[in-house]
């Protein structure tokens, strides 16, 4: 079984300081949180940035500053979001303009979905543009899968040459409007997964630990962090993003599954170095 890759998503676009007073919002805070998670065992950092008021943003300047600060401190794999934020007026190209920063990965949400009380739109035109941009920039997309259609869309894009194989799939369970965070849903999606693909899980809310445990045991990988959960257990806020990483490390030790270093994660994911 491959070593376990732990990804940390420190901020997201939705979580607020009303939910957790220690949510990192500014580039310096995000870099601090990423470095702490890296020291705890994370090898990938999924990055969202915020504006000066704490709202979602796709500012290239803020991405650049955040990336710079993280790279000064560690060599963690950077996975930059292309989600576009909530209600920000953006062109398709604005959503992946930060690929000029040469991250090794970026998110690719392969379909639209009712995300809580809004529509998270990822049109076929946008996905085609993003696919072409990732290949040109030598960036591996992390295929975000909220439901079955997103996985079948990704497989179809791979057949067209818009996603390079082997793909890396991030299953997202528990979002309102997406698939519930249940073991049966994970098993169902795994039946559709291409055999050469790597995969990871996110469980929002109570589904976090059961699905993370399944992934550890079944050869998948795990994402944690304040983007997905702020509660460490019932009625107890997590002390930090790194606290979630530490718990996954401890669980993996119980399953006798070693944690991947950053270099090992690059090899597992078949990441290509930038020139």
Domain boundaries, the chain: 6-268
Is there a contact between 38 and 76 (Cβ–Cβ < 8 Å)?
Answer: yes
For residue 275, pLDDT over 60 is answered with no
Kindly indicate the confidence band of residue 1, based on its pLDDT and cuts at 50, 70 and 90: confident
For residue 88, what pLDDT is reported? Answer: 78
Query: Residues 6 or more apart from 253 whose CB is under 8 A from it?
Result: none
Query: Residues 6 or more apart from 93 whose CB is under 8 A from it?
Result: 129
For residue 259, pLDDT over 80 is answered with yes
Residue 21: what are its φ and ψ, rounded to 5°? Answer: -65, -15
Among the listed residues 42, 60, 71, 104, the one whose alpha carbon sits nearest the alpha carbon of residue 252: 42
What percent of the chain is predicted at pLDDT more than 70?
Answer: 99
Q: Which CATH number fits domain 6-268: 3.30.1950.10, 3.40.50.10860, 3.30.420.10, 3.20.20.70?
A: 3.20.20.70
For residue 85, pLDDT over 80 is answered with no
For residue 272, what pLDDT is reported? Answer: 76
Count of CB atoms situated within 10 Å of the CB of 203: 28
For residue 226, pLDDT over 70 is answered with yes
- Average pLDDT estimate for 251-256: 96
> Each residue of 111-158: pLDDT tens digit?
999 987 788 999 999 999 999 999 999 999 999 999 999 999 999 999
Q: Rounded to an integer, what distance in angstroms lies between the CA atom of residue 208 and that of residue 202?
A: 7
Is there a contact between 194 and 167 (Cβ–Cβ < 8 Å)?
Answer: yes
Among the listed residues 94, 85, 76, the one whose alpha carbon sits nearest the alpha carbon of residue 115: 85
Is there a contact between 43 and 265 (Cβ–Cβ < 8 Å)?
Answer: yes
| DSSP 8-state code for residue 237 | E
> Each residue of 21-37: pLDDT tens digit?
999 999 999 999 999 99
Task: Give the distance from CA 255 to its chain's centroid.
Answer: 23
Kindly indicate the confidence band of residue 84, based on its pLDDT and cuts at 50, 70 and 90: confident
For residue 30, what pLDDT is reported? Answer: 98
Is there a contact between 183 and 207 (Cβ–Cβ < 8 Å)?
Answer: no
For residue 79, what pLDDT is reported? Answer: 98
Is there a contact between 222 and 255 (Cβ–Cβ < 8 Å)?
Answer: no
Burial class, 22, CB count within 10 angstroms (exposed 0-12 / middle 13-18 / buried 19+): middle
What percent of the chain is predicted at pLDDT more than 90?
Answer: 92
> Each residue of 86-118: pLDDT tens digit?
777 899 999 999 999 999 999 999 999 998 778
Kindly indicate the confidence band of residue 62, based on its pLDDT and cuts at 50, 70 and 90: very high
For residue 8, what pLDDT is reported? Answer: 98
For residue 273, what pLDDT is reported? Answer: 67
For residue 70, pLDDT over 70 is answered with yes
> Each residue of 147-203: pLDDT tens digit?
999 999 999 999 999 999 999 999 999 999 999 999 999 999 999 999 999 999 999
| DSSP 8-state code for residue 116 | T
Summary mean pLDDT of the chain = 95
Task: State the alpha helices, DSSP H only, in 57-207.
Answer: 60-73, 124-137, 148-159, 183-190
């Amino acid at each position: 079984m491959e070593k376990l890759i732990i990804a940390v998503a420190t901020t997201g676009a939705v979580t607020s300081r009303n939910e957790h007073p220690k949510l990192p919002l500014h580039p310096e805070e995000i870099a601090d949180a990423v470095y702490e998670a890296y020291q705890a065992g994370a090898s990938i950092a999924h990055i969202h940035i915020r504006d000066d008021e704490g709202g979602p943003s796709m500012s290239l300047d803020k991405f650049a500053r955040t990336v710079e600060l993280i790279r000064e401190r560690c060599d963690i794999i950077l996975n930059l979001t292309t989600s576009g934020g909530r209600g920000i007026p953006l062109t398709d190209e604005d959503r992946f303009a930060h690929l000029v920063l040469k991250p090794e990965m970026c998110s690719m949400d392969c379909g639209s979905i009712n995300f809580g009380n809004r529509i998270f739109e990822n049109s076929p035109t946008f996905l085609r543009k993003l696919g072409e941009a990732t290949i040109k920039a030598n960036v591996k997309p992390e295929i975000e899968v909220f439901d079955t259609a997103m996985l079948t869309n990704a497989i179809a894009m791979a057949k067209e040459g818009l996603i390079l194989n082997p793909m890396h799939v991030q299953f997202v369970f528990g979002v309102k409007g997406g698939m519930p965070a249940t073991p049966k849903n994970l098993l169902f999606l795994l039946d559709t997964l291409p055999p050469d693909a790597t995969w990871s899980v996110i469980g929002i809310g109570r589904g976090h630990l059961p699905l993370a445990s399944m992934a550890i045991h079944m050869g998948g990988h795990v994402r944690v962090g304040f983007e997905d959960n702020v509660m460490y257990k019932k009625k107890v806020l997590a002390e930090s993003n790194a606290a979630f990483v530490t718990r996954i490390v401890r669980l993996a030790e119980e399953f006798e599954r070693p944690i991947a270093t950053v270099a090992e994660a690059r090899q597992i994911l078949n990441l290509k170095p930038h020139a």
